[in-house]
Amino acid sequence: MKSSAKNPTLAFIMVCYSLAGLVSGCASHPTTDVKSQPVFEAQSSSAQTLPYRVEGRVYYPMGDSSGFVQEGTASWYGPDFHAKRTSNGEVYNMNALTAAHKTLPFGSLVRVDHQETGRTVTVRINDRGPFVGDRIIDLSYGAAKKLGMIEKGTAPVKLQVIRGATAPPPRNAAGTLAKKALYSVQVGVFENLDNARKIAHQFDNSRIFTVKQKDQRFFKVLVGKYSNYEKALGPMDHIRLRGFKEAFIVLSP
């Protein structure tokens, strides 16, 4: 494989998915006297619309991909990521015709034209990336093979969306549709209210939201209300440095 070792997709960065419908990160082990480990679940579908940060840069996913055209360099990723989760929660199949893009909505169908050979392939966007240099799309092994770019590893391409997709309406940490863009840092989700309170007491400007999934209640610990995503990044980093390594930014209720 020519490119993926130094070209991680967001699937490499966001690898935990379970209990769809709530929003959180993977299980962590914060420095705390709380004995019961917090319950953490998947990035919900609404997380597709939120900005995200990779290597210091913030990316803003599109709301609608209709009519999108782009030219640049394609790369590919394969065995190292096969059977792992993609950013939209699917299991990555390196032989399927899929791809990673930094901002296109998941589900967009994209025609990829190799500008030197004239070969073409149609892929479905189900992942985030690539985050190296001027690369604009990270193709699956199967798609890269159809373009004839496996050996070289990269290729000059033109992207054209042939079936657009729209991102789902954003939902806030309470699970309701977001009416305005305020952001909070989610520290964790707990089954036990006392444990949630112990964590919340460690942070100023914290609060607890109760959410239900099926017949079970969960308690989300949120910190702050920030007017934009960038203002929430500093507090998130601070919380992670305090041991809550999977804290992340959500739309605030």
pLDDT tens-digit map of 28-81? 333 333 323 344 333 444 556 789 999 999 999 998 999 999 999 999 999 999
For the chain, percent of residues with pLDDT exceeding 70: 79
Across the chain, which has 253 residues, the per-10-residue mean pLDDT values are 45 33 33 35 55 91 93 96 93 97 96 98 97 95 98 97 85 70 93 96 96 91 95 96 94 88
Amino acid 159: pLDDT = 98
* Helix (H), strand (E), coil (C) string for the chain: CCCHHHCCCHHHHCCCCCCECECCCCCCCCCCCCCCCCECCCCCHHHHHCCEEECCEEECCCCECCCCEEEEEEEEECHHHCCCECCCCCECCCCCCEEECCCCCCCCEEEEEECCCCCEEEEEEEECCCCCCCEEEEEEHHHHHHHCCCCCCCEEEEEEEEECCECCCCECCCCCECCCCCEEEEEEEECCHHHHHHHHCCCCCEEEEEEEECCEEEEEEEEEEECCHHHHHHHHHHHHHCCCCCCEEEECC
> Alpha-carbon distance 16 to 197, whole Å?
25
By the 10 Å C-beta count (0-12 exposed, 13-18 middle, 19+ buried), 138 is classed as buried
Q: Which residue ranges form the domains of the chain, and what is each CATH number? A: 13-58+169-251 (3.30.70.1070), 61-163 (2.40.40.10)
Cβ-proximal residues to 151 (8 Å cutoff; 6+ apart), any chain: 2
Amino acid 178: pLDDT = 64
Amino acid 75: pLDDT = 98
